Structure 1
Amino acid sequence: MASENDIRKLNAERIELLIECSIQAYNALSESQRAQCAVDKVTPPGGFELIDSWSGVDSLFGRDKSVETYGVVFRTTSAPWRYVFAFRGTDSILDMLDDCGVEPQAFVPFESNTPVPDRVRVESGFNDIYRIGNGSDASMQTQLFALIDKYRHASRPLSKVYITGHSLGGALCQLFTLDLALSRPDIRTENINFASPRVGNQAFVDFYGAQTHHPILRVVNVHDAVPHLPPTELGFRHHPSAYLVAFHATDILGKMDLKVAHSSDNYQAVISCASSSGFGTCSNKQLQVAEDLTISSEIPALDDR
């Protein structure tokens, strides 16, 4: 699959589930104690329960390091036990700077007998958040694999793992999915991410694509600027599988309003509209998102990405 704009041709129920999980990952970040999961603010989707969270070390050019909650784990309340790892997206100025990084680095899996080709490169800001701890706190990568290994040997063992995230979370969740494919190849995973920036070069995309039992789908608003970063001129590329939507602000700023075009809540509203429309698409010039917000949604051309 390359790109699609009809949600009926995809698993609409799973896309709706995972955008909700991505939003709840944002809710897990406490404003007062950023390293602690705000459990009371997280509402698990129907049929799921919140069971864990993890943190990551954010930094500006390797300085001013801070530990923040970066994701949550949901598990079904009945067998077969499905787990959702949902990564938080961009929240702070530091995250925004990391989103716009351009320096390529080698991808180093947690542990693997499969060699990663030397030419595979990923963006340094995402890679640093994923792999670097701060001495007293384990890296995100280490925490995630500790959770995975705990669940593998639990009384409610992993049946399948869904991995998701919005914005920066979309980039981080792709690194984790590839890492799982290499380091725990027996685990069945599926990745659906939203508004993700480009994560690596073409060699990264090709190497990821070779892990055929780990499907990936990008959900992209064609008016969203973040999926256009880092730029292709610097060698960065996207996975080709994409579900395209198209929405923007209805006020005078229109398509220039980057916040509206990138909002996870707005992604969710358009996905829900497309799923319930009967046509598989969302065409609504005054789509109500919140009491004080409407957006304009149209049907994207398949070559709009």
Structure 2
Amino acid sequence: MHSLLLVSAALSAVGLTSANPVDLERRTVTTLSATELSSFAPFTQFARAAYCGTDILQDWTCGEACEANSDFEVSLVGGDDDDIQNYFVGYSPSLEAIIVAHEGTDPTQLESDLTDIDVPLAPLSSTLFPGISSDVEVHTGFQDEHALTADAILAEVKSLMSSVGTSNIVAVGHSLGGALAEIDTIFFRLNIPSATISAMTYGTPRVGNPAWAALVDASDVNFKRIDNMQDLIPIVPGRALGYEHPAGEIHILSPGDAVSCPGDDDATDSECQIESVPTIFEGNIIDHVCMIILF
């Protein structure tokens, strides 16, 4: 994801300025309770676990991240830390949900970096996303990466739905992994219409154009994207490139203090990401890297 910053730096400030609506009615944020914040913890640890190696994931022995969800039953692990982001699928009895988790960017792996910088928008695959208008466009690198594992993950999710008797699916991920989880929401909605779908993403970059954001908003998916303090990754790729976040922003102001922000990519409150980090030069990459460890 660090590579994406190099592409977006020059355009980020321009995009945020030109796209900011001047006549938008001010909408207020909602402070989250301690109970609401603590409910995110299991999903934060699943996103953290996705950075572990495949052998460790298969045995579910990745330390604190796995111990936090000790009853989790892994059923599928894949990826190679390079061409294919690591991922896992399994069932959480305590959450009564199937979990699909994607690894984020590993800046030491060339292919992972190349995925991030492949920023042109393109229509979705008609095979994986049947019936979706060509007006809906998504980051080329993200959707190409998603396509590498989509069929295997879908087959495993369907198998688990049958074997454990649940229709609840939660997609999670941090950084690039969050982008893949966001794409999962529409992929699962189209291909498993009977499922109850949620997503919890952390430090996610923008994934698609306004038509994509509207599609996610119009779906019945329970989608939340969590941004940490001065993290700069959620403001790239720049809006000047045609990108827009869907609704569902949760902005962590400090440890134990967070707000729910209204709208898509247009919240005008100073406590929301688009206002607190107006350009990447005012962001802090440490807030991105450390969020799933400290949150």
TM-score (norm 1): 0.69
Contact 2:104 2:173 in 1 (8 A): yes
Contact 1:205 1:238 in 2 (8 A): yes
Deviation at 1:176, TM superposition (A): 1.0
Contact 2:78 2:86 in 1 (8 A): yes
> What is the aligned-residue identity percentage?
20
Deviation at 1:261, TM superposition (A): 1.7
Deviation at 1:53, TM superposition (A): 3.2
Structural mapping, 1:56-67, within 5 Å:
56=79, 67=83
Q: Which residue of 1 aligns with 2:162?
A: 153
Deviation at 1:258, TM superposition (A): 4.2
Q: Which residue of 2 aligns with 1:227?
A: 234
Deviations 1:20-43 (A, max 9, x none): 110011123569xxxx85744362
What secondary structure, in the 3-state scheme, does the structure 1 residue paired with 2:33 have? helix
Contact 1:220 1:242 in 2 (8 A): yes
**Cα pair distance change 1:165/1:38, threshold 3 Å:** same
What secondary structure, in the 3-state scheme, does the structure 2 residue paired with 1:48 have? coil
Structural mapping, 1:206-221, within 5 Å:
206-212=214-220, 214-221=221-228
Deviation at 1:47, TM superposition (A): 5.5
Deviations 1:141-184 (A, max 9, x none): 11111111211221x12241111100000000111111001111
Deviation at 1:244, TM superposition (A): 0.5
**Cα pair distance change 1:110/1:76, threshold 3 Å:** farther
Deviation at 1:230, TM superposition (A): 1.0
Which residue identity is paired with 1:208?
V
Deviation at 1:245, TM superposition (A): 1.5
**Cα pair distance change 1:129/1:9, threshold 3 Å:** same
Please give the alpha-carbon distance, in whole angstroms, between the structure 2 residues aligned to 1:30 and 1:256. Answer: 39
**Cα pair distance change 1:195/1:81, threshold 3 Å:** same
Deviations 1:59-88 (A, max 9, x none): xxxxxxx5545212242236x832211111
**Cα pair distance change 1:151/1:29, threshold 3 Å:** closer
Q: Which residue of 2 aligns with 1:107?
A: 124
Q: Which residue of 2 aligns with 1:55?
A: 78
**Aligned length, in residue pairs:** 240
Q: Which residue of 2 aligns with 1:88?
A: 103
**Cα pair distance change 1:6/1:239, threshold 3 Å:** same
Please give the alpha-carbon distance, in whole angstroms, between the structure 2 residues aligned to 1:118 and 1:110. Answer: 13
Q: Which residue of 2 aligns with 1:71?
A: 87
Deviation at 1:14, TM superposition (A): 3.0
TM-score (norm 2): 0.71
Please give the alpha-carbon distance, in whole angstroms, between the structure 2 residues aligned to 1:177 and 1:10. Answer: 25
Which residue identity is paired with 2:88?
V
Query: Which ranges of structure 2 fall in alignment gaps of 5 or more residues?
Result: 1-26, 256-280
Which residue identity is paired with 1:95?
S
> Which is bigger in relative contact order (C-alpha 8 A, separation at least 6)?
2
**Cα pair distance change 1:190/1:4, threshold 3 Å:** farther
CA RMSD of aligned residues (A): 3.0
Aligned: 1:141 with 2:150: yes
Deviation at 1:267, TM superposition (A): 4.2
Aligned: 1:187 with 2:209: no
Please give the alpha-carbon distance, in whole angstroms, between the structure 1 residues aligned to 2:96 and 2:43. Answer: 16
Deviation at 1:45, TM superposition (A): 3.0
**Cα pair distance change 1:109/1:195, threshold 3 Å:** farther
Structural mapping, 1:1-305, within 5 Å:
4=29, 6-8=31-33, 11-29=36-54, 37=58, 39-41=60-62, 43-46=66-69, 48-56=71-79, 67-68=83-84, 70-77=86-93, 81-91=96-106, 92-108=109-125, 115-131=131-147, 139-154=148-163, 156-212=164-220, 214-246=221-253, 258-263=284-289, 265-269=290-294, 271=295
What secondary structure, in the 3-state scheme, does the structure 2 residue paired with 1:165 have? strand
What secondary structure, in the 3-state scheme, does the structure 1 residue paired with 2:40 have? helix
More helix by share: 2
Please give the alpha-carbon distance, in whole angstroms, between the structure 1 residues aligned to 2:249 and 2:126. Answer: 25
**Cα pair distance change 1:82/1:165, threshold 3 Å:** same
What secondary structure, in the 3-state scheme, does the structure 1 residue paired with 2:169 have? strand
**Cα pair distance change 1:30/1:53, threshold 3 Å:** same
